Structure 1
Amino acid sequence: MRTLLIAGLVAGACYAQEITVKVDGKPFTVFNYGNDAGKPFLAPVRSASGKIVTRRFPMSNEPGESRDHLHHRGLWFSYDDVNGTKLWENDPSYTKPHMGREVVRSADLKEGAKSSTIAAVIEWRDEKGKVLLVENRDMVFAGDAKLRTIDFHITLTAAQDVTLGDTKEGAFAIRLDDAFTERKGMKITDADGRTTMANIWGKRSNWVDYVADLGGEKLGVAMFDNPGNPRYPTYWHARDYGLFALNPFGRNAFDSKQDESEWKIPTGQKIEFRWRVLIHPGDANVAALYSEYTGKR
Structure 2
Amino acid sequence: MDYETKGEISVTINNKPFTTYHYSKDRAKPVLYPILGPSGKRMVRDWPLKKDSPNEAHDHPHHESLWYTHGDVNGISFWHVGEKMGKIRHKEFIKKGKDEIITKNDWYSPKGIVQCSDKTRIRFFALPNGGRGVDYEVTIIASNGDVKFGDTKEGSMGIRTHPALRLKGDVATGKAINNNGVSGRAVWGKPAKWLYYWGKIEATEVGIGIFDHPTNPRHPTTWHARDYGLIAANPFGYSHFQGKPRGTGDLIIKDGEKITFRYAFVFLNGDNKNSGVGNIYTKWVFSDAKL
TM-score calculated relative to the size of structure 1: 0.90
Which residue of 2 is the match for residue 3 of structure 1? none
Which residue of 2 is the match for residue 164 of structure 1? 149
User: Aligned pair 1:14/2:1, yes or no?
Assistant: no
Please give the alpha-carbon distance, in whole angstroms, between the structure 2 residues aligned to 1:180 and 1:130: 39
Q: CA deviation at 1:111?
A: 3.1
Which residue of 1 is the match for residue 221 of structure 2? 234
Cα displacement string for residues 246-272 of structure 1 (whole angstroms, at most 9, x for unaligned residues): 101221121104662221111111001
Structure 1 counterpart SS, 2:265: strand
One-letter amino acid matched to 1:44: P
Q: Percent identity?
A: 34
CA contact (8 A) 1:81 1:165 kept: yes
Which residue of 2 is the match for residue 30 of structure 1? 20
Cα displacement string for residues 88-128 of structure 1 (whole angstroms, at most 9, x for unaligned residues): 012xxx35x3x11000112365335xxx1011111111111
Which residue of 2 is the match for residue 111 of structure 1? 97
1:13 to 1:108, Cα distance in 2 relative to 1, 3 A: farther
Which residue of 2 is the match for residue 52 of structure 1? 42
Which residue of 2 is the match for residue 6 of structure 1? none
CA contact (8 A) 2:94 2:104 kept: no
Structure 2 counterpart SS, 1:290: helix
One-letter amino acid matched to 2:191: R
CA contact (8 A) 2:38 2:206 kept: no
Which residue of 1 is the match for residue 107 of structure 2? 124
The size of the alignment, in residue pairs, is 278
Please give the alpha-carbon distance, in whole angstroms, between the structure 1 residues aligned to 2:33 and 2:176: 22
Which residue of 1 is the match for residue 167 of structure 2? 182
Structure 1, unmatched stretches of 5+, are 1-10
Structure 2 counterpart SS, 1:49: helix
1:267 to 1:48, Cα distance in 2 relative to 1, 3 A: same
Structure 2 counterpart SS, 1:229: coil
Cα displacement string for residues 24-52 of structure 1 (whole angstroms, at most 9, x for unaligned residues): 22110000012342111000001031001
User: Aligned pair 1:256/2:243, yes or no?
Assistant: yes
Cα displacement string for residues 175-199 of structure 1 (whole angstroms, at most 9, x for unaligned residues): 11111111323110100011101x1
Which residue of 2 is the match for residue 290 of structure 1? 281
Please give the alpha-carbon distance, in whole angstroms, between the structure 2 residues aligned to 1:50 and 1:109: 27
CA contact (8 A) 1:48 1:143 kept: no
User: Aligned pair 1:102/2:93, yes or no?
Assistant: no
Please give the alpha-carbon distance, in whole angstroms, between the structure 2 residues aligned to 1:129 and 1:72: 23
One-letter amino acid matched to 2:151: D
CA contact (8 A) 1:180 1:240 kept: no
User: Aligned pair 1:139/2:122, yes or no?
Assistant: yes
1:211 to 1:229, Cα distance in 2 relative to 1, 3 A: same
User: Aligned pair 1:149/2:133, yes or no?
Assistant: yes
User: Which of 158, 164, 167 does residue 173 from structure 1 map onto?
Assistant: 158
TM-score calculated relative to the size of structure 2: 0.92
Please give the alpha-carbon distance, in whole angstroms, between the structure 1 residues aligned to 2:105 and 2:153: 22
Please give the alpha-carbon distance, in whole angstroms, between the structure 2 residues aligned to 1:210 and 1:38: 27
Structure 2, unmatched stretches of 5+, are none
Structure 2 counterpart SS, 1:167: coil
Q: CA deviation at 1:232?
A: 0.3
CA RMSD of aligned residues (A): 1.5
Structure 1 counterpart SS, 2:3: strand
Please give the alpha-carbon distance, in whole angstroms, between the structure 2 residues aligned to 1:188 and 1:18: 32
Please give the alpha-carbon distance, in whole angstroms, between the structure 2 residues aligned to 1:233 and 1:50: 31
CA contact (8 A) 2:235 2:249 kept: no
Please give the alpha-carbon distance, in whole angstroms, between the structure 2 residues aligned to 1:273 and 1:48: 27
Please give the alpha-carbon distance, in whole angstroms, between the structure 1 residues aligned to 2:261 and 2:20: 22
